[in-house]
A and B are shown apart, each in its own frame.
Chain A
């Protein structure tokens, strides 16, 4: 389902991307305008339902007159701006950022990143075998989801989704500083002792698989996770009358995880614990 938002028509700004004139509605980001113009700018931390945090710095572009590169995901387009998305300078920063990330965390379950590493000729190994890595064991402390911070790029999306942007539970935040900064619940306790309400909206927005369904985590460990064999069916949650959309991911006739379409005007991808995790009764065949 595609929803066309109806609102006051917005003025169009005129500026250029890579020398070509473009028009974008007032308030658009450079990234919006690039995508509308059919240009691909890579990004990891940007999310379609959240305010951009611009922490990953993969989407940096060159803007005429700016001293440093600017993050396309969060910088608003301005009239007359001259944006260059693919200069040597921008490509260099993207390459280094990809190298820094890939050398410090496990990006094996991050969609698209392998293509970018190839495209930008990033060589994460060149920092040597002793380069500091997170090297953390997955935190498996409940039956619903797993926190594998060895895959975390600190994009802050789970923090924002748990906090004032969606869930208002504020169960997670960033603790520590610098390379030691980590996503944590209060007092770095197990999830079961925290304020978490298991809505799973953090999993929905996680771009790297650092947060995953226990079912997916276990299947990956067992080597049985096979996305190509999965079907996706979007339906309506039957628990209450709100009408949230559920997308059931089914492999071998078993529901393996539940997501929610981000363009749904009711939920924008958010669910509660029942919709997200309460599917076992469907496949209880005893």
Chain B
């Protein structure tokens, strides 16, 4: 590879940001001053190229310190990693949280997604923008779902520097959001994670039992409340025994696809190619979903333990925790938990003295919903654009770095703990025959007690909404997030199981339940969903790249229309939607039409 670099130079601060991650450069080939040794030998090449996966952390390092990524900074990072600048530019421009144009050091992300829009985000945005005009040193950006739906409307301030500072304002007022942006260090502290769990402390919880009970920063506290008993049991059972328990438990993936976890683990474990990798998908970006955040903030050691068990069962010695970039508190809690576990021999070369080596590396996303798609996530970690790969080959065969990889989301992994502590039969007895175990639901919108609820599979939608205190004049419920579907207020008898929702012609998806009363204008909600998919499409395949745009255009045209006036565009939407579902490469394009279709068919949105 004959790399060409322009003549733009990094500033001292940009160079320092990259060097803090990669160490100082050793030769002029990678940006140091020229020395006599450089005439005789070259560094870089293969050695540096193998660190390509540090491209995303490198972009974060620059963006965190400076607030944006200049040509000089990007070229310097490329020199250090032997990455072609054109490719790095393609990666830097892929993520919403990065900018390759100069911008103020502070960015205030104001959530404009479903729950926040219903809770007055447009007014909030206008108020903030009038207070923080040009020259305020703050760039106000409208953001997709920040995962703070239980406290809508929400805003997240990120102030570049060393170190980068963040502050969350939720429920946000104009004053509080402006304060968070102008002085993140003195903004009000976020309420504890338990505030998002209305059931906190209740007996009988399996997944949420420790949230609000343990100190999320204390490993000792975690162990005092049953932590690490599941891992001990895993070591007793051996890898095959763990997989058998997980298989017998009937656990299926909680990220939305509902694939049997035991089968995935088995398929990975038996691959002859090594090394095997474990990836925890914590890129929770589905609008309305915040359960993974609450687990990571309230019970981070549980995730560390669960990842250790999954890795042990599937023969992986390295685990990547891919965390969405919009979760600064979850990042801090997990970094602390991983460091604690490492210091106490629960991660590292000899986990629990069992001679098994495993460690976790946390990787931060940078604002891209598509990176929650499992193969797009691999590309993102590897330092490429977060575009999905075509399958087959499947990740269990060729996943991260082309090696067999098991990928599970946070909720799925955390379920492994009760499976091992209570045993597969007891776990499988919870829920229904085909949907076993407890399930987390993210309830938000027109309810009195929004938050995360844990219920056994089989409870009805009505049960859940009653628990959350659904308000009068319910107009619609969105199940499964933007990729899910709407149901009517007279359909609350739908059982919350995979088979029950399927029979009812809808989906459980990632467990989102958003209630909307009749004050929420439905066409505007649908427009927001269409806008979301248009923004978040990676652009790789035609049906999704152009289809999401045409969908949004048609919804704009009929925003104020009904009946015959809308019929032509609805027919067009159906035709385009069908092709998107059939011909898109990945789930994003395949589901982008679901919610709108359900609103037309079930709610009569434009009648």
A173 within 8 A of B: yes
**Which one of B53-61, B494-502, B583-591 is at the interface?**
B583-591
A74–B71 Cα distance when bound, in Å, is 36
What are the residues of chain A within 8 A of B2 when measuring CB–CB? 168-169, 197
Residues A176 and B542 in contact in the complex (CB < 8 Å), given A100-B550, A186-B6, A189-B6: no
**Which one of B79-87, B172-180, B195-203 is at the interface?**
B79-87
What are the residues of chain A within 8 A of B3 when measuring CB–CB? 170, 195
User: Which of A170, A176, A178 is most buried by chain B, counting CB atoms within 10 A of its CB?
Assistant: A178
B579 contact from A97, A169, A180, A185, Cβ within 8 A: A97
A195–B90 touching, CB < 8 Å: no
What are the residues of chain A within 8 A of B392 when measuring CB–CB? 76
Q: Which residue of B lies closest to A97 (CB)?
A: B542
Residues A71 and B74 in contact in the complex (CB < 8 Å), given A128-B557, A179-B534, A179-B537: no
A176 contact from B539, B546, B547, Cβ within 8 A: B539
A-B CB pair tally, cutoff 8 Å = 167
A173–B87 touching, CB < 8 Å: yes
A37–B547 Cα distance when bound, in Å, is 32
Residues A185 and B86 in contact in the complex (CB < 8 Å), given A74-B390, A168-B1: yes
Q: Which residue of B lies closest to A89 (CB)?
A: B582
User: Which of A57, A128, A153 is most buried by chain B, counting CB atoms within 10 A of its CB?
Assistant: A57
B89–A96 touching, CB < 8 Å: no
What are the residues of chain B within 8 A of A235 when measuring CB–CB? none
What are the residues of chain B within 8 A of A127 when measuring CB–CB? 550, 553, 572
Residues A179 and B543 in contact in the complex (CB < 8 Å), given A187-B71, A187-B100: no
A55–B541 Cα distance when bound, in Å, is 4
A195 contact from B84, B541, B553, Cβ within 8 A: B84
A85 within 8 A of B: no
A194 within 8 A of B: yes
B536 contact from A132, A169, A170, A178, Cβ within 8 A: A178
Q: Which residue of B lies closest to A172 (CB)?
A: B86
What are the residues of chain B within 8 A of A97 when measuring CB–CB? 542-543, 579, 583
Q: Which residue of B lies closest to A57 (CB)?
A: B583
B368 within 8 A of A: yes
Size category of the binding interface on chain A? 35 or more
A126–B568 Cα distance when bound, in Å, is 10
What are the residues of chain A within 8 A of B87 when measuring CB–CB? 163, 170, 173
A179 contact from B546, B579, B585, Cβ within 8 A: B546
A128–B558 Cα distance when bound, in Å, is 13
A100–B583 Cα distance when bound, in Å, is 13
Q: Which residue of B lies closest to A74 (CB)?
A: B390
> Per-residue 0/1 for B369-411: is the Cβ within 8 Å of any A Cβ (1 yes, 0 no)?
0000000000000000100001010000000000000000000
Q: How many residues of B contact A (CB 8 A)?
A: 51
B349 within 8 A of A: no
Q: Which residue of B lies closest to A98 (CB)?
A: B542
B545 within 8 A of A: yes
> Per-residue 0/1 for B175-209: is the Cβ within 8 Å of any A Cβ (1 yes, 0 no)?
00000000000000000000000000000000000
A194–B582 Cα distance when bound, in Å, is 39
Residues A180 and B539 in contact in the complex (CB < 8 Å), given A127-B553, A194-B86: yes
A184–B548 Cα distance when bound, in Å, is 23
A173–B572 touching, CB < 8 Å: no
A128–B557 Cα distance when bound, in Å, is 10
What are the residues of chain A within 8 A of B579 when measuring CB–CB? 92-93, 95-97
B229 within 8 A of A: no
What are the residues of chain A within 8 A of B121 when measuring CB–CB? none
> Per-residue 0/1 for A43-83: is the Cβ within 8 Å of any B Cβ (1 yes, 0 no)?
00000000000111110100000001101001010000000
What are the residues of chain A within 8 A of B590 when measuring CB–CB? 68
What are the residues of chain B within 8 A of A184 when measuring CB–CB? 86, 89-90
A68–B535 Cα distance when bound, in Å, is 23
What are the residues of chain A within 8 A of B89 when measuring CB–CB? 173, 175, 184-188
What are the residues of chain B within 8 A of A69 when measuring CB–CB? 582-583
B84–A170 touching, CB < 8 Å: yes
Residues A92 and B553 in contact in the complex (CB < 8 Å), given A170-B1, A187-B85, A194-B86: no
A89–B536 Cα distance when bound, in Å, is 26
A11 within 8 A of B: no
List residues of B (264-300) whose CB comes within 8 Å of A's CBs. Answer: none
Please give the distance in Å from B582's CB to the nearest CB on chain A.
Answer: 5
A68–B93 touching, CB < 8 Å: no
A173–B6 touching, CB < 8 Å: no
What are the residues of chain B within 8 A of A130 when measuring CB–CB? 553
B86 contact from A76, A96, A173, A181, Cβ within 8 A: A173
User: Which of B368, B542, B579 is most buried by chain A, counting CB atoms within 10 A of its CB?
Assistant: B542
B583–A178 touching, CB < 8 Å: no
Q: Which residue of A lies closest to B587 (CB)?
A: A68
Please give the distance in Å from B586's CB to the nearest CB on chain A.
Answer: 10
B540 within 8 A of A: yes
A273 within 8 A of B: no
What are the residues of chain B within 8 A of A128 when measuring CB–CB? 553, 557
What are the residues of chain B within 8 A of A170 when measuring CB–CB? 1, 3, 84, 86-87
Please give the distance in Å from B579's CB to the nearest CB on chain A.
Answer: 4
A101 within 8 A of B: yes
A104 within 8 A of B: yes
A89–B582 Cα distance when bound, in Å, is 8
A138–B392 Cα distance when bound, in Å, is 38
List residues of B (35-89) whose CB comes within 8 Å of A's CBs. Answer: 71, 74-75, 84-89
B94 within 8 A of A: yes
B430 within 8 A of A: no
A171 within 8 A of B: yes
User: Which of B88, B390, B538 is most buried by chain A, counting CB atoms within 10 A of its CB?
Assistant: B390
B576 within 8 A of A: yes
A170–B74 Cα distance when bound, in Å, is 15
Q: Which residue of A lies closest to B546 (CB)?
A: A100
> Per-residue 0/1 for B560-577: is the Cβ within 8 Å of any A Cβ (1 yes, 0 no)?
000000000000100110
B86–A100 touching, CB < 8 Å: no
What are the residues of chain A within 8 A of B576 when measuring CB–CB? 96, 100
B488 within 8 A of A: no
What are the residues of chain B within 8 A of A187 when measuring CB–CB? 6, 71, 74, 85, 89, 100
Please give the distance in Å from A153's CB to the nearest CB on chain B.
Answer: 7
What are 30 A-to-B residue pairs whose CB atoms are below 8 Å? A54-B585, A55-B540, A55-B542, A57-B583, A57-B585, A69-B582, A92-B578, A92-B579, A93-B579, A96-B543, A96-B583, A97-B579, A100-B542, A103-B550, A126-B572, A168-B1, A170-B87, A173-B87, A178-B536, A178-B548, A179-B537, A179-B549, A181-B540, A186-B75, A186-B88, A186-B89, A187-B85, A187-B100, A193-B6, A195-B86
Seen from chain B, the residues whose Cβ lies within 8 Å of a Cβ on chain A are 1-4, 6, 71, 74-75, 84-90, 93-94, 100, 368, 385, 390, 392, 534-543, 545-550, 553, 557, 572, 575-576, 578-579, 581-585, 590
Seen from chain A, the residues whose Cβ lies within 8 Å of a Cβ on chain B are 54-58, 60, 68-69, 71, 74, 76, 89, 92-93, 95-97, 100-101, 103-104, 126-128, 130-132, 153-154, 156, 163, 168-181, 184-189, 193-195, 197
Closest 7 CB pairs of A and B: A170-B84, A181-B539, A195-B4, A96-B579, A173-B90, A186-B85, A100-B546
